[in-house]
Structure 1
Protein backbone atom coordinates (compact mmCIF):
# COMPACT_ATOMS: atom_id res chain seq x y z
CA UNK A 1 0.00 0.00 0.00
CA UNK A 2 1.34 3.45 -0.90
CA UNK A 3 2.25 5.87 1.86
CA UNK A 4 0.63 9.29 2.10
CA UNK A 5 3.90 11.13 1.55
CA UNK A 6 4.36 9.34 -1.79
CA UNK A 7 1.05 10.65 -3.17
CA UNK A 8 1.59 13.79 -5.24
CA UNK A 9 -1.80 15.32 -4.41
CA UNK A 10 -1.20 14.85 -0.69
CA UNK A 11 2.12 16.66 -1.05
CA UNK A 12 0.57 19.48 -3.08
CA UNK A 13 -2.11 19.99 -0.43
CA UNK A 14 0.48 19.78 2.36
CA UNK A 15 2.64 22.41 0.62
CA UNK A 16 -0.29 24.77 0.14
CA UNK A 17 -1.48 24.40 3.73
CA UNK A 18 2.06 24.79 5.09
CA UNK A 19 2.55 27.95 3.05
CA UNK A 20 -0.79 29.46 4.09
CA UNK A 21 -0.09 28.75 7.77
CA UNK A 22 3.40 30.22 7.48
CA UNK A 23 2.10 33.30 5.65
CA UNK A 24 -0.63 33.87 8.24
CA UNK A 25 1.89 33.56 11.10
CA UNK A 26 4.12 36.13 9.38
CA UNK A 27 1.25 38.60 9.05
CA UNK A 28 0.37 38.16 12.72
CA UNK A 29 4.02 38.45 13.81
CA UNK A 30 4.21 41.78 11.97
CA UNK A 31 1.13 43.15 13.74
CA UNK A 32 -1.46 42.68 11.00
CA UNK A 33 -4.92 41.33 11.78
CA UNK A 34 -5.87 40.76 8.15
CA UNK A 35 -6.10 37.13 7.06
CA UNK A 36 -4.71 35.57 3.91
CA UNK A 37 -8.28 35.04 2.65
CA UNK A 38 -9.17 38.69 3.27
CA UNK A 39 -6.01 39.77 1.44
CA UNK A 40 -6.90 37.54 -1.53
CA UNK A 41 -10.43 38.91 -1.74
CA UNK A 42 -9.32 42.55 -1.55
CA UNK A 43 -6.79 41.83 -4.32
CA UNK A 44 -9.53 40.15 -6.39
CA UNK A 45 -11.79 43.21 -6.05
CA UNK A 46 -8.98 45.64 -6.86
CA UNK A 47 -7.88 43.68 -9.92
CA UNK A 48 -11.43 43.01 -11.20
CA UNK A 49 -13.68 46.05 -10.74
CA UNK A 50 -17.35 45.04 -10.74
CA UNK A 51 -16.58 41.41 -9.84
CA UNK A 52 -19.48 39.53 -8.25
CA UNK A 53 -19.27 37.52 -5.04
CA UNK A 54 -19.74 34.30 -7.05
CA UNK A 55 -16.85 35.28 -9.31
CA UNK A 56 -14.71 36.09 -6.26
CA UNK A 57 -15.45 32.64 -4.87
CA UNK A 58 -14.38 30.99 -8.12
CA UNK A 59 -11.21 33.10 -8.27
CA UNK A 60 -10.08 32.38 -4.68
CA UNK A 61 -11.50 28.83 -4.41
CA UNK A 62 -14.07 29.63 -1.71
CA UNK A 63 -17.75 28.80 -1.49
CA UNK A 64 -20.32 31.60 -1.55
CA UNK A 65 -21.04 31.42 2.20
CA UNK A 66 -17.34 31.79 3.04
CA UNK A 67 -16.94 34.74 0.66
CA UNK A 68 -20.00 36.44 2.19
CA UNK A 69 -18.65 35.91 5.72
CA UNK A 70 -15.20 37.26 4.79
CA UNK A 71 -16.70 40.29 3.05
CA UNK A 72 -18.91 40.99 6.10
CA UNK A 73 -15.77 41.04 8.26
CA UNK A 74 -13.97 43.32 5.80
CA UNK A 75 -16.93 45.72 5.72
CA UNK A 76 -16.80 45.90 9.54
CA UNK A 77 -13.03 46.44 9.34
CA UNK A 78 -13.67 49.21 6.78
CA UNK A 79 -11.50 47.62 4.08
CA UNK A 80 -14.46 47.19 1.72
CA UNK A 81 -17.81 48.90 1.26
CA UNK A 82 -20.97 47.55 -0.30
CA UNK A 83 -22.95 49.84 -2.55
CA UNK A 84 -26.38 49.02 -3.92
CA UNK A 85 -26.31 48.40 -7.67
CA UNK A 86 -27.83 51.36 -9.50
CA UNK A 87 -29.98 49.25 -11.82
CA UNK A 88 -30.73 46.15 -9.71
CA UNK A 89 -31.31 46.70 -5.99
CA UNK A 90 -30.80 42.96 -5.32
CA UNK A 91 -27.16 43.29 -6.36
CA UNK A 92 -24.34 45.06 -4.58
CA UNK A 93 -21.09 46.49 -5.86
CA UNK A 94 -17.98 46.00 -3.77
CA UNK A 95 -15.40 48.75 -3.51
CA UNK A 96 -12.09 48.72 -1.68
CA UNK A 97 -11.70 51.65 0.69
CA UNK A 98 -8.56 53.73 1.17
CA UNK A 99 -7.73 51.68 4.27
CA UNK A 100 -8.20 48.51 2.18
CA UNK A 101 -5.76 49.77 -0.44
CA UNK A 102 -3.35 50.80 2.31
CA UNK A 103 -3.42 47.37 4.01
CA UNK A 104 -2.68 45.69 0.66
CA UNK A 105 0.31 47.97 0.14
CA UNK A 106 1.49 47.56 3.74
CA UNK A 107 1.29 43.77 3.57
CA UNK A 108 2.90 43.46 0.12
CA UNK A 109 6.52 43.28 1.38
CA UNK A 110 5.58 40.53 3.83
CA UNK A 111 3.79 38.60 1.08
CA UNK A 112 6.84 38.89 -1.17
CA UNK A 113 9.10 37.76 1.69
CA UNK A 114 6.82 34.79 2.37
CA UNK A 115 7.02 33.71 -1.26
CA UNK A 116 10.80 34.11 -1.31
CA UNK A 117 11.16 31.99 1.83
CA UNK A 118 8.81 29.29 0.52
CA UNK A 119 10.71 29.08 -2.78
CA UNK A 120 14.18 29.11 -1.19
CA UNK A 121 16.57 26.56 -2.77
CA UNK A 122 14.25 25.91 -5.71
CA UNK A 123 15.77 26.70 -9.10
CA UNK A 124 14.02 28.61 -11.88
CA UNK A 125 14.01 25.42 -13.92
CA UNK A 126 12.36 23.45 -11.10
CA UNK A 127 9.74 26.19 -10.69
CA UNK A 128 9.00 26.21 -14.40
CA UNK A 129 8.63 22.41 -14.52
CA UNK A 130 6.43 22.43 -11.41
CA UNK A 131 4.26 25.27 -12.71
CA UNK A 132 3.79 23.56 -16.07
CA UNK A 133 2.92 20.26 -14.39
CA UNK A 134 0.37 21.96 -12.10
CA UNK A 135 -1.22 23.73 -15.07
CA UNK A 136 -1.52 20.37 -16.87
CA UNK A 137 -3.11 18.75 -13.79
CA UNK A 138 -5.64 21.60 -13.62
CA UNK A 139 -6.41 21.32 -17.32
CA UNK A 140 -6.82 17.51 -17.05
CA UNK A 141 -9.36 17.97 -14.25
CA UNK A 142 -11.22 20.93 -15.77
CA UNK A 143 -11.45 19.39 -19.25
CA UNK A 144 -11.13 15.63 -18.77
CA UNK A 145 -10.71 13.60 -21.92
CA UNK A 146 -12.08 10.07 -22.04
Structure 2
Protein backbone atom coordinates (compact mmCIF):
# COMPACT_ATOMS: atom_id res chain seq x y z
CA UNK A 1 0.00 0.00 0.00
CA UNK A 2 1.33 3.44 -0.86
CA UNK A 3 1.52 6.26 1.69
CA UNK A 4 -1.21 8.05 -0.25
CA UNK A 5 -3.54 5.03 -0.06
CA UNK A 6 -2.79 4.60 3.63
CA UNK A 7 -3.55 8.27 4.23
CA UNK A 8 -6.80 7.99 2.27
CA UNK A 9 -7.96 4.90 4.19
CA UNK A 10 -7.04 6.48 7.53
CA UNK A 11 -9.01 9.58 6.58
CA UNK A 12 -12.04 7.47 5.63
CA UNK A 13 -11.89 5.55 8.90
CA UNK A 14 -11.62 8.74 10.98
CA UNK A 15 -14.35 10.49 8.98
CA UNK A 16 -16.72 7.55 9.35
CA UNK A 17 -16.09 7.21 13.09
CA UNK A 18 -16.83 10.92 13.55
CA UNK A 19 -20.01 10.68 11.46
CA UNK A 20 -21.29 7.70 13.45
CA UNK A 21 -20.73 9.56 16.74
CA UNK A 22 -22.29 12.79 15.41
CA UNK A 23 -25.32 10.90 14.13
CA UNK A 24 -25.75 9.15 17.48
CA UNK A 25 -25.35 12.41 19.42
CA UNK A 26 -27.97 14.07 17.24
CA UNK A 27 -30.41 11.20 17.76
CA UNK A 28 -29.76 11.21 21.52
CA UNK A 29 -30.55 14.92 21.62
CA UNK A 30 -33.66 14.72 19.43
CA UNK A 31 -34.86 11.61 21.27
CA UNK A 32 -34.54 13.34 24.65
CA UNK A 33 -32.63 10.37 26.08
CA UNK A 34 -31.46 12.37 29.16
CA UNK A 35 -27.92 11.05 28.61
CA UNK A 36 -25.11 11.69 26.15
CA UNK A 37 -23.41 9.04 24.03
CA UNK A 38 -20.49 8.92 26.49
CA UNK A 39 -22.84 8.61 29.46
CA UNK A 40 -24.67 5.80 27.66
CA UNK A 41 -21.42 3.88 27.21
CA UNK A 42 -20.82 4.05 30.97
CA UNK A 43 -24.37 2.89 31.72
CA UNK A 44 -24.12 0.07 29.18
CA UNK A 45 -20.85 -1.25 30.62
CA UNK A 46 -22.14 -1.05 34.17
CA UNK A 47 -25.23 -2.98 33.08
CA UNK A 48 -23.05 -5.68 31.53
CA UNK A 49 -20.82 -6.08 34.60
CA UNK A 50 -21.68 -6.64 38.25
CA UNK A 51 -19.51 -3.98 39.86
CA UNK A 52 -16.59 -2.09 38.38
CA UNK A 53 -13.90 0.13 39.78
CA UNK A 54 -13.42 3.44 38.06
CA UNK A 55 -10.10 2.19 36.66
CA UNK A 56 -11.75 -0.89 35.14
CA UNK A 57 -14.53 1.22 33.68
CA UNK A 58 -12.07 3.75 32.23
CA UNK A 59 -10.37 0.93 30.34
CA UNK A 60 -13.68 -0.35 28.96
CA UNK A 61 -14.91 3.05 27.74
CA UNK A 62 -11.50 4.37 26.60
CA UNK A 63 -11.68 7.48 28.80
CA UNK A 64 -9.06 9.10 31.00
CA UNK A 65 -9.76 9.32 34.75
CA UNK A 66 -10.71 13.04 34.93
CA UNK A 67 -13.18 12.71 32.03
CA UNK A 68 -14.70 9.55 33.46
CA UNK A 69 -15.00 11.15 36.90
CA UNK A 70 -17.05 14.00 35.39
CA UNK A 71 -19.30 11.53 33.55
CA UNK A 72 -19.84 9.45 36.70
CA UNK A 73 -20.56 12.57 38.78
CA UNK A 74 -23.28 13.57 36.31
CA UNK A 75 -24.78 10.07 36.27
CA UNK A 76 -24.78 9.99 40.08
CA UNK A 77 -26.61 13.35 40.17
CA UNK A 78 -29.17 11.98 37.72
CA UNK A 79 -29.65 8.99 40.01
CA UNK A 80 -28.48 6.38 37.49
CA UNK A 81 -25.19 5.36 39.12
CA UNK A 82 -23.99 4.99 42.69
CA UNK A 83 -20.56 4.73 44.24
CA UNK A 84 -20.34 1.96 46.83
CA UNK A 85 -17.44 1.37 49.19
CA UNK A 86 -15.29 -1.50 47.92
CA UNK A 87 -15.79 -4.44 50.31
CA UNK A 88 -12.07 -5.30 50.40
CA UNK A 89 -10.44 -1.88 49.97
CA UNK A 90 -11.83 1.01 52.01
CA UNK A 91 -9.87 3.49 49.90
CA UNK A 92 -11.75 2.69 46.69
CA UNK A 93 -15.28 2.51 45.37
CA UNK A 94 -17.21 0.25 43.07
CA UNK A 95 -19.67 1.66 40.57
CA UNK A 96 -23.15 0.20 40.30
CA UNK A 97 -26.32 1.05 38.44
CA UNK A 98 -29.23 2.16 40.57
CA UNK A 99 -32.72 0.88 39.88
CA UNK A 100 -33.31 4.06 37.85
CA UNK A 101 -30.10 3.33 35.94
CA UNK A 102 -31.23 -0.21 35.16
CA UNK A 103 -34.57 1.16 33.96
CA UNK A 104 -32.81 3.77 31.79
CA UNK A 105 -30.65 1.07 30.16
CA UNK A 106 -33.71 -1.10 29.48
CA UNK A 107 -35.56 1.90 28.01
CA UNK A 108 -32.70 3.01 25.76
CA UNK A 109 -31.37 -0.33 24.48
CA UNK A 110 -33.94 -0.76 21.68
CA UNK A 111 -33.68 2.90 20.67
CA UNK A 112 -29.90 2.77 20.49
CA UNK A 113 -30.03 -0.49 18.59
CA UNK A 114 -32.14 1.30 15.97
CA UNK A 115 -29.59 4.10 15.74
CA UNK A 116 -26.78 1.59 15.18
CA UNK A 117 -28.77 -0.32 12.58
CA UNK A 118 -29.00 2.84 10.45
CA UNK A 119 -25.24 2.69 9.89
CA UNK A 120 -25.49 -0.90 8.64
CA UNK A 121 -28.31 -0.32 6.12
CA UNK A 122 -27.54 -1.75 2.68
CA UNK A 123 -24.77 -3.98 4.06
CA UNK A 124 -25.03 -7.74 4.24
CA UNK A 125 -23.73 -10.25 6.74
CA UNK A 126 -20.67 -10.92 4.59
CA UNK A 127 -19.86 -7.17 4.56
CA UNK A 128 -20.20 -7.02 8.31
CA UNK A 129 -17.95 -10.04 8.89
CA UNK A 130 -15.23 -8.64 6.62
CA UNK A 131 -15.46 -5.23 8.26
CA UNK A 132 -15.21 -6.79 11.70
CA UNK A 133 -12.18 -8.81 10.62
CA UNK A 134 -10.43 -5.72 9.27
CA UNK A 135 -11.14 -3.60 12.35
CA UNK A 136 -9.94 -6.37 14.67
CA UNK A 137 -6.75 -6.67 12.63
CA UNK A 138 -6.10 -2.92 12.87
CA UNK A 139 -6.78 -3.03 16.61
CA UNK A 140 -4.45 -6.00 17.12
CA UNK A 141 -1.71 -4.33 15.07
CA UNK A 142 -1.69 -1.45 17.55
CA UNK A 143 -1.51 -3.49 20.75
Q: Structure 2 CA distance, aligned partners of 1:108 and 1:46?
A: 11
| Residues 15-37 of structure 1: CA deviation (Å, up to 9, x unaligned) | 12211111121122122220111
**Aligned ranges for residues 3-14 of structure 1 at < 5 Å?**
7-14=8-15
Task: Say yes or no: does 1:2 pair with 2:8.
Answer: no
Find the residue that maps to 1:93 and give its secondary structure. Answer: strand
* Map of 1:139 onto structure 2: 140
**Aligned ranges for residues 58-137 of structure 1 at < 5 Å?**
58-137=59-138
How far off is 1:9 after superposition?
Answer: 2.2
* Map of 1:39 onto structure 2: 40
* Map of 1:48 onto structure 2: 49
How far off is 1:3 after superposition?
Answer: 8.2
Find the residue that maps to 2:63 and give its secondary structure. Answer: coil
Of 12-21 and 133-142, deviating more is 12-21
Find the residue that maps to 2:104 and give its secondary structure. Answer: helix
How far off is 1:70 after superposition?
Answer: 0.4
TM score, norm. by length of structure 1:
0.88
For the 8 Å contact 2:47–2:105, the answer to whether it is kept is: no
Count, aligned residues:
141
Q: Structure 1 CA distance, aligned partners of 2:48 and 2:110?
A: 18
Alpha carbon RMSD of aligned pairs, Å?
1.8
Q: Structure 1 CA distance, aligned partners of 2:31 and 2:142?
A: 38
Find the residue that maps to 2:32 and give its secondary structure. Answer: coil
In structure 1, the gaps of 5 or more residues are none
